[in-house]
Amino acid sequence: MAWDTARTRQLLLDAAVEEFAEHGPEGARVARVATRAGINKERIYQYFGSKEKLFVAVLESELQKLAAAVPLTDEQAADLGDYAGRVFDYHHTHPHFVRLLAWEGLLCQDRVAAECERTDHYAEKIATVTAAQRNGTLTDAVGAGELMHAVIALTASWFTLPQLTRMLMSPAARSGPEHQRAALVTVVRRLTS
């Protein structure tokens, strides 16, 4: 029987997403990834080479999923609040992704996964925002890069800083994601108008 390489690789990536999200790249264990995937841990080294390279592969895969699920077109750039709301929805459905980015930011600042590709991806978003600023649909009070950074940071903070929600927000704001999403969309719209 032939070995299904693509399926095995995907099972390992799927199992690694949860392991890295829970424990970070340093706390994650290859043996737990293999157990979750139901595959011998030697396959991890065969397909990825090391735990660090597996983490990079996980981030690259998850970043591609987000980019495909939540694009930013020229038309959508006119309402970055809506874009932030769609990113919020993605993170709400896939909470592991923001945790992976937080771990990367805390532990891997000098070795960011797929940095060139990600920089190119963000450059496209910045160009889209710049065009919206030039045609007057978005404020040009701050640069497009700073504006995108603010939108990304505001959106991710709902998931990476839940303790602030508990301490700062009213009971209504803490009541659920619908209120949080609405507040985010409103803040971003005011920030960008």
CATH number, domain containing residue 30: 1.10.10.60
Residue 46 pLDDT exceeds 80: yes
Inside any domain, residue 32: yes
Residues 91 and 136 in one domain: yes
Residue 14: burial class (beta carbons within 10 Å; 0-12, 13-18, 19+): middle
**Helix, strand, coil distribution of the chain in percent, nearest 5:** 80, 0, 20
Percent of the chain with pLDDT over 90: 80
What pLDDT does 171 receive? 77
Average pLDDT over residues 162-185: 85
Report the distance separating Cα 101 and Cα 87, nearest Å: 14
Residues 82 and 146 in one domain: yes
Residues 74 and 50 in one domain: no
Inside any domain, residue 63: no
81-110 pLDDT tens trace: 999 999 999 999 999 999 999 999 888 777
Residues 75 and 36 in one domain: no
Average pLDDT over residues 46-66: 93
Q: What is the pTM assigned to this prediction?
A: 0.89
- Each as own residue / partner, the long-range contacts of residues 19-25 (CB below 8 Å, 24 or more positions apart, any chain) are 20/55, 20/58, 20/100, 20/103, 21/95, 21/96, 21/97, 21/99, 21/100, 21/103, 22/99, 24/103, 24/106, 24/107, 25/51, 25/52, 25/55, 25/103, 25/104, 25/107, 25/108
Residues 104 and 172 in one domain: yes
Average pLDDT over residues 163-188: 86
The three-class DSSP label of residue 78 is coil
Report the distance separating Cα 46 and Cα 12, nearest Å: 11
Residues 113 and 187 in one domain: yes
What pLDDT does 4 receive? 77
Inside any domain, residue 61: no
Residues 89 and 27 in one domain: no
Residues 129 and 39 in one domain: no
123-167 pLDDT tens trace: 999 999 999 999 999 999 999 999 999 999 999 999 999 888 888
Measured distance between the N- and C-terminal CA atoms of the chain, rounded to whole angstroms: 60
Residue 2 pLDDT exceeds 60: no
Residues 43 and 87 in one domain: no
Provide the residue range defining the domain that includes 108. 70-192
What pLDDT does 173 receive? 65
CATH number, domain containing residue 173: 1.10.357.10
Inside any domain, residue 65: no
Q: What is the mean pLDDT of the chain?
A: 92
What pLDDT does 1 receive? 41
Q: How many domains does the chain have?
A: 2
Residues 77 and 48 in one domain: no
Residues 39 and 112 in one domain: no
Inside any domain, residue 59: no
Residues 49 and 76 in one domain: no
